[in-house]
Chains A and B, each alone.
Chain A
Amino acid sequence: MNYVALKMLFGDRAKYLMLLAGLTFSTMLIVQQGSIFWGLMTWSQSGITNVNAPVWVTDSNINQVEEIKPLADTTVNVVRSVSGVEWAVPLYKGVQRARLRDGNYEQIALVGIEASTLIGRPGRVLEGKIEDLRSPEAVAIDQLGVERLGGPENIHLGTTFEINDHRVRVVAIVKTQKSFQNFPFVYTTYERALSVTPQERRKLSYVLASPVSGVSPEELARRIHEETGLGAFTEEQFGWKTVQWILKNTGIGVNFGTTVLLGFIVGMAISGQTFYLFTVENLPQFGALKAIGASTGMLARMILLQSFTVGTIGYGVGVGLATLFGLTAGSGGRLPFKETWPLLVGVAVALLLICTVSSAISIRKLAKLEPAIVFRG
């Protein structure tokens, strides 16, 4: 019986292709838009993920990572005094202007990390040594910075440029995750970051902390908040806070949500309609089957098999095309494209829904089918 069902499905080449194309493009659209959306969210959290610290401490009213509310210098020691803290180090973060030799200006995201431990430094160093940050005037620049400030022929190890009229020298080139604002990341030590930035009453942007073994980051964040009244968040909590802020304050969520919904509706419309037509055209065959004694349940199973087969194939091709798009168009981090497991599972569920709804319409038709239709011609 299943064989007959599949034979019927693949027999009508035009309808099959139509059905497949509808489902494929629907899947591709949802996956591609969803991935770009998630890619943007990843970029928005790059300020956090690039630093890679378990717990972030700052003002309790902070909304997102790029919104800096500076603290007093002694906060580092206040955090160190909380029980369960293995270490706590200061971090400077802020947008500054870099001026090149040729007179060009570029906005940069300056990150100042604690000099002796270099906690918060990027994980991948492409050129040079990150330890050299401790030498005078030293900074490390990321691959985006190299690209922005004039390419590898202008920016290489040993190049000097200015940050707020202070001369700095490139000692390392690092790999970072791009940020939402798309400013290049420039790393230096905390003390140097304070001396090259303009005077302010308070300059400590964040305190990074790590729990002792046996205490979870969540527990430590809770303790720090309770004992000091400061805002303390784990890396994930702070990431979600940032994502929520962006969804609430920008149109990005609505924009991508609409596109995904459209993909879903269009996919459902095309496949539902085509599948219905397909069933209607094959009514005599189904009638014949019914006449020779097939029950409605059996016919329903046949329809479901057909619909899920085409659905699975459409899903596979669609997801593959979206990945291919991501690999080509988004190569080298030019496009915020990031596929995730939850997205793929979500799309699979959506497709299951499309297939079930389409086949339900057809099954309803078959249930009312009289076997006598075969003889009516």
Chain B
Amino acid sequence: MVLRRLSFWLALAGIILTIATLWGANKKVAPPPPMETPPQNPYQVTVAAAGIIEAVNENVRIAPPVSGLVTKVYVTVADHVEQGDPLFQLDDRELRAQLRTKTDSLPSAAARIAEQEIRLRDVQDQLKRLQSVTDRRAVSEDDVQRKWHEAEGAKRALIRARADLHLARSERDEVQALLNRLTVRAPRSATILQVNVRAGEYAMVNAIEPLILLGDTETLQVRADIDEVNAPLVVPGSPAVAYLKGFTNKAIALQFDRIEPYIVPKRSLTGDNRERVDTRVLQVIYRFERPTFPIYVGQQVDVYIERADHPLPNPENGPPDLAIQQSTHSPTNSPEGEKRESHE
């Protein structure tokens, strides 16, 4: 009977041990909750897109009109500039010297006019006196003619002197204009986003990096990239919201601006030197009011665009249409059909 008891208890112990082990081991661990709330779709049906924040009307890359030494930079990053405000100054010593020469030649030209005027008056006086002599024997016809020519020549000389003064003024103005050009000014009111030039540096006309980057950071826009697969689902004017990466509790309401008519290859910014092109995307532009929290140009956002309906390829309508098209086209268009016709 010892055996019976022993085996019975052993069996009981075995079953209890197994049940206890299984109870502990087979509990499914619940997935850890997301660290941040993942971006969530606020609409019933939606088209999701990856977006980037940019300054409205794009950014302006300021380049110098001519290559030259930079002598002074008037602005720093984040300055606000109005249209026409100076941004930086190129070396103008040579043109200033020219300007002085040109300006200095003006009094000489003006003096020449006065000189010619006096001479003209003198010759005209002489001519008048000669003509007033009525006695043909006292004054020869030849003298009168010669004086008349002299007077006409003096008149032309005066005109030329006046023209010379005008030319000298124009030349001075030209140098002045070239000089003004060396002060580079803001083409529109904007904020300075980048300054890549310092006084003393040589500014090249065809530099890769813009000397100064201007942009309007007051009103921003979102450029949303939509996979070409989903491109037909976007209806112009659909409302949308954007979420900053890792900051999903506050949505930014967007207003539709436009759809870019050209589908471009998507660029993945992986931080690698080479960027990969893997698909093409439709770009939709949305504007928004600056929210209360800080937001920067160049930031990535997740965009959700409301989809009006389900204009997806309907399995009931899609393939049959295609089939009908194929069947109507194939007898006339297929090369086999043509061949058969030519045989006959």
Instruction: Show the binding face of B for A, using Cβ within 8 Å.
Output: 1, 3-4, 7-8, 10-15, 17-18, 21-22, 25-26, 29-32, 34-41, 44-50, 225-227, 229-230, 233, 245-248, 266, 268, 270-272, 274, 276, 278-279, 281, 302, 304, 307, 312
Contact = CB atoms under 8 A, between A and B. Distances in A.
A191 interface: yes
B230 A10 contact: no
B17 A324 contact: yes
B204 to A, nearest CB: 33
Nearest to B303: A77
Contact of B4 (A10, A87, A121, A319): A10
Secondary structure type dominating chain B contacts: mixed
Contact of A74 (B8, B17, B266): B266
Given A83-B44, A118-B35, A323-B14, A77 B3 contact: no
A53 interface: yes
A75 B245 CA distance: 18
A80 B46 contact: yes
Given A10-B3, A20-B7, A74-B50, A80 B18 contact: no
A315 B8 CA distance: 11
Given A119-B34, A320-B15, A323-B18, A52 B29 contact: yes
30 contacts: A10-B4, A16-B3, A52-B29, A73-B278, A74-B266, A74-B279, A77-B50, A79-B48, A80-B48, A80-B304, A81-B47, A86-B38, A86-B40, A88-B48, A114-B38, A115-B246, A116-B35, A116-B245, A117-B34, A122-B32, A123-B32, A124-B29, A191-B271, A195-B270, A199-B274, A199-B276, A319-B14, A322-B18, A323-B17, A341-B22
Secondary structure type dominating chain A contacts: helix
Interface in A134-151: none
Contacts of B15: 315-316, 319-320
A74 B281 contact: yes
A326 interface: yes
A228 B274 CA distance: 29
A116 B29 contact: no
A321 B4 contact: no
A317 B11 contact: yes
Given A13-B3, A86-B41, A117-B34, A74 B227 contact: yes
A169 interface: no
Complex A-B, nearest 5 residue pairs according to Cβ-Cβ distance, in ascending order: A320-B14, A316-B11, A80-B48, A116-B246, A87-B38
Contacts of A323: 14, 17-18, 21
Given A227-B312, A319-B18, A73 B26 contact: no
Interface string A55-85: 0000000000000000011111111110101
Contact of A123 (B21, B31, B227): B31
Given A85-B41, A202-B278, A316-B13, 19 more contacts: A72-B279, A74-B227, A74-B278, A76-B48, A80-B39, A81-B233, A116-B248, A131-B35, A195-B272, A315-B11, A316-B12, A317-B14, A318-B14, A319-B15, A319-B18, A320-B14, A320-B15, A339-B22, A344-B22
A339 B3 contact: no
A47 B219 CA distance: 46
A78 B227 contact: yes
Nearest to B243: A116
A87 B246 CA distance: 13
Contacts of B8: 313
B48 A73 contact: no
B46 A83 contact: yes
Contacts of A324: 17
A260 B45 CA distance: 52
Given A80-B46, A83-B44, A324-B17, A10 B312 contact: no
B227 A77 contact: yes
B21 A326 contact: yes
Contact of A194 (B12, B245, B246, B270): B270
A322 to B, nearest CB: 8
A22 B115 CA distance: 141
Task: Indicate the member of A52, A123, A195, A313 with the most B CB atoms within 10 Å.
Answer: A313
Contacts of B50: 73-74, 76-77
A4 B281 CA distance: 85
A130 B304 CA distance: 29
Nearest to A13: B3
Task: Indicate the member of B1, B39, B44 with the most A CB atoms within 10 Å.
Answer: B39
A340 B26 contact: yes
A201 interface: yes
Interface in A97-137: 114-119, 121-124, 130-131
